[in-house]
A and B are shown apart, each in its own frame.
Chain A
Amino acid sequence: KAGVTQTPRYLIKTRGQQVTLSCSPISGHRSVSWYQQTPGQGLQFLFEYFSETQRNKGNFPGRFSGRQFSNSRSEMNVSTLELGDSALYLCASSFLNLGHSGNTIYFGEGSWLTVV
């Protein structure tokens, strides 16, 4: 079956603009998480969604937001872009069993965002 699909793969934006990134999870997976990867900070958790509800949020400013649709697809949005938002944004999905711990998590290829 198809893996986690992220679009677009590469994009360049100007400071002050906003950007929307999309993620389609593996079929049947209802949990979607987002991560930001930068050379300085490494991989950092942004947010997690399950059944259209945000379950957890990382330490990022309110400019970073996300949502999940009824088909489990997810989008994240970054408004008023800053140079420091340049990063690889990774989406992950899993078949989450609520009440049970430990699920294999699969990542997409990521969206490379450059802010100029």
Chain B
Amino acid sequence: GIQVEQSPPDLILQEGANSTLRCNFSDSVNNLQWFHQNPWGQLINLFYIPSGTKQNGRLSATTVATERYSLLYISSSQTTDSGVYFCAVEVPGGSEKLVFGKGTKLTVNP
């Protein structure tokens, strides 16, 4: 099956710093989404981005489908950005099954 790898596994930043999270996937995908898991467990949808670049405030994401990777950029990080960021891909075939990476745990210190 498709493999999804995220790096780095852990990231510690000072407030105000910028960061880049990476997601590599092993096969063609129909869908790629980035999620932020808050301390209460909920997965918050950040971007639906099977290809191209999108921006939402301090966050932006780029997916290069032909090279099978996606990047999530966080600029001017805040303590509220702390949590685990997941990349998930939907494999071709008509199913909505998502395959998740193991996540990047981000800690932003004041």
Contacts and interface: CB of A to CB of B under 8 A. Distances in A.
29 contacts: A33-B97, A33-B98, A37-B41, A42-B100, A43-B86, A43-B98, A43-B100, A45-B98, A48-B96, A48-B97, A55-B96, A58-B97, A90-B41, A92-B43, A92-B98, A98-B94, A101-B90, A101-B94, A102-B31, A104-B33, A105-B45, A105-B98, A106-B45, A107-B35, A107-B43, A109-B41, A110-B41, A110-B42, A112-B41
Return the 9 tightest CB-CB contacts between A and B, nearest first: A101-B30, A107-B43, A43-B100, A109-B42, A56-B95, A102-B31, A104-B48, A110-B41, A45-B97
B100 A101 contact: no
Interface of B: 30-31, 33, 35, 40-45, 48, 50, 86, 88, 90, 92, 94-103
A108 to B, nearest CB: 7
B96 A94 contact: yes
